[in-house]
Amino acid sequence: MTFHILVVLYKRLPEDSESLQSLATCLRRESASFTVWDNSPDAAPDASLDWLSTRFVSVEYRHTPENVSLSKIYNQIIRQHVINSENRPEYLVLLDQDTIVESDYLNSAFRAGAENPDINLLLPIVEGNGVIVSPANLYYGIGRRWIRVLTGRIRSHFRTAINSGMVIRASYLLKQFDGYDERLRFYGTDNDFMQKYAATNRELFVFDSRLRHDLASFSVEDVEAKLWRHRENVRALLLSNGRGIGKALIHLYAFVYSARLAYRFRDRRFLSC
């Protein structure tokens, strides 16, 4: 198996996942194994499991209604399919449930990895709502989106990327990576990974494949959901940048950002993070 692909679901049936739907059309069936990790309150019905088994040769479905944090899911997948596996893949691929991949996504990733054997992280261009959302620049916890596409080998320092779409060489996870910080639950795991990667790897590779990531659902959330998301974001930001030169800047940024949201939604709870 060249790839092990992890798709994390939440309140979405496998056959309704944009990630799984698009992967089913671009995959050589023998080239990948799958874990579909379902954090939904209810397990997928038999019809959904049948849908998975008819489209993917090697697929494991796991249901955890307690909604396990992403950091713990990623660490467990690395232990099971990289560290303790006799049939270790060349790459681990991470995907959310709502990322649409192009038909050449995996072929482009494999080609980039083969041509750059010293590079351990391969990233596609991810777009959402008409802008580039990944990769991006990150300066002491403050992100800046790219306004134009860069491809090829680039410096990994001061870079970040969203989890969904990452293609990570298994040898890096086995020999260099010390695991995700499990204090981080659902936000900050991507920045945590990118900071650790940049500490030991000077470069990453951006390959020319476009993915579309659904960000529209965030704009229609009620205030309670936005408050939960905001608190998780600030918590992750402070955990990942709680020391060194950027500490004071991060605390100031978190306060200003919280104040803006409190004013926007007329809700003082956004200040209590």
Residue 108 zone, left/alpha/beta (φ > 0; ψ -120 to 50; rest)? alpha
CA distances from 81 to 1, 78, 102, 151, 260 (A): 11, 5, 25, 29, 43
pLDDT tens-digit readout, 149-200: 999 999 999 999 999 999 999 999 999 999 999 998 888 899 999 999 999 9
- Give residue 30's pLDDT: 56
Q: Was domain 3-218 assigned CATH 1.10.260.40?
A: no
Confidence of residue 216 (pLDDT cuts 50, 70, 90): very low
- Give residue 249's pLDDT: 73
Q: Picking from 19-33, 96-110, 182-196, 218-232, which range would have the lowest pLDDT averaged per residue?
A: 218-232
CA atoms within 13 A on the CB side of 256: 7
Task: Please state the pTM of the whole predicted model.
Answer: 0.88
The rounded mean pLDDT for the chain is 89
Q: What is the 3 state secondary structure string of 70-127?
A: HHHHHHHHHHHHHHCCCCCCCEEEEECCCEEECCCHHHHHHHHHHHCCCCCEEEEEEE
